[in-house]
Amino acid sequence: MPRSTFKGISQYRNVELESSVASASPHKLIEMLLDGALEKIQRARGCMERKEIAAKCAAIDWSLSILEGLYSSLNLADGGEIAQNLSNLYEYMMRRLVDANLRNEVAILDEVTRLLGEVREGWVAIRR
């Protein structure tokens, strides 16, 4: 496939994502961030298995950025125990991602995926 075709597909995906973000509710935006972090962790896992160090680091860095954004958006003053628990969990997951990156341990990525998946499930259930 010509390089210009890949560029066109990439641009289309970017426009599609921007449209989704622009029309999403605040609740849906958090869900999209959780999905993005999970996707980046899975990408890091694959890179780790293939020994693609630079790509692994980039994927973990991106997932850390998403978690940092989620962490910093918590309202600890009004969120009570739930916000504090999420704060602690996000901090823990960020530390574990750094550990996974340093140690090249897939099991740590799997642990964070499970924890973040549970947060996502709870978040989606709130909407229902």
Domains defined for the chain, CATH in brackets: 26-127 (1.20.120.340)
Handedness of CA 30, 33, 39, 42 (dihedral sign): negative
What is the residue-level pLDDT of the chain in tens, covering all 128 positions? 566 655 655 554 554 545 555 667 989 999 999 999 999 999 999 999 999 999 999 999 999 999 999 999 999 999 999 999 999 999 999 999 999 999 999 999 999 999 999 999 999 999 76
What's the CA gap between 93 and 68, in Å, rounded?
10
**Which three-class secondary structure string do you get for the chain?**
CCHHHHHHHHHHHHHHHHHHHHHCCHHHHHHHHHHHHHHHHHHHHHHHHCCCHHHHHHHHHHHHHHHHHHHHCCCHHHHHHHHHHHHHHHHHHHHHHHHHHHHCCHHHHHHHHHHHHHHHHHHHHHHC
Distance CA 50, CA 59 (A): 14
Residues whose CB falls within 8 Å of the CB of residue 96, separated by 6 or more in sequence, listed in order: 108, 111, 112
Structure pTM?
0.82
Closest CA to 13 of 31, 30, 36, 38: 36
